Amino acid sequence: MFFASDHKRRRTPGEGGSISRGRTLRLALALIGAGLAALPAAGAPAQQVDTTLSRDAVLRDAEIPALGNPKGDLTVVEYFDYQCPYCRKVAPDLDQVVREDGHVRLVMKDWPILGPPSDVAARLVLATRYQDKYEVSHRALMAAKGRLTETSIRDTLAQAGVDMARADADLATHRDDIDALLKRNNAQAEAFDFHGTPAFIVGTFRVPGVIDAAMFKRAIADARAAAAKAKK
């Protein structure tokens, strides 16, 4: 598995955002420098794998489209909430790094912990994948200003070109699948002992909190180095 703590706590809606920037950077550097336990190989016997934090469950959930380069050599996973101001703040840096690198798979995992509008936003965006509008929907809501309401969510998605009638129909049709996906995301976030959004998995490194473009680049480089070393 990646990492699991005996202490699991879910942040309550409205609780303060990220830990301080200085502490976040120090913690991220420490984690990147030390590394984490190697992940089990894909296809490893079930009895050897905690399925909540298995490699495939965390990095390659088939229900979540991969952004960036879907065939990239390294995966970055973000646990996020559409109402989280820290998630919105970090999004441009992360997008820039992924775009400039060209070989990063980016997997966005909804963790709607900031109230009912967060849940509405997560479900509607996940439903838009059935009309091939996932990425445009995700980016539109990440760029939204202020706190969300169901009305503002729907207006933002409609302005981004989403067929809202189809989104509603797809949400109803695939409700059980979307419920299960959100439960998987929550179980993983709690098992990683994340206390809020944003939180990241970079390769096999657990990186909680807000980091900037330089830190993303270092995390990605160190994750690649760790993967290359593991192959020797």
Return the structure tokens found at 53. 């934090």
DSSP H/E element including 8: none
Is 65 strand, coil or helix? coil
Least confident window among 9-18, 65-74, 111-120, 153-162: 9-18
Cis-peptide, bond into residue 70, ω within 30° of zero: no
Q: Which helix or strand (DSSP H or E) is residue 109 part of?
A: strand 104-110
d(CA 114, CA 124): 16
More confident residue, 84 or 4: 84
3-state class (DSSP) for residue 215: helix
d(CA 123, CA 140): 15
pLDDT in tens, 47-92: 434 588 999 999 999 999 999 999 999 999 999 999 999 999 999 9
Q: How many CA atoms lie within 13 A of 79 on its CB side?
A: 33
- Reply yes or no on whether the pLDDT at 102 is more than 80: yes
Look at residue 175 in the predicted model and tell me its pLDDT: 98
In three-state secondary structure terms, 88 is helix
C-alpha closest to that of 148 among 82, 206, 100, 209: 82
Question: Which pLDDT score is estimated for 203?
Answer: 95
| H-assigned helices in 83-212 | 85-101, 116-128, 134-142, 150-159, 164-173, 175-191
Which domains are present in the chain? 21-225 (3.40.30.10)
**pLDDT at residue 231 above 50?**
yes
Distance of CA 76 to the CA centre of its chain: 8
3-state secondary structure of 55: helix
Residue range 206-221: mean pLDDT, rounded: 94
SS3 state of residue 181: helix
Q: How far is CA 38 from CA 102, 161, 230, in A?
A: 25, 42, 8
Q: How far is CA 88 from CA 37, 126, 137, 178, in A?
A: 30, 18, 14, 23
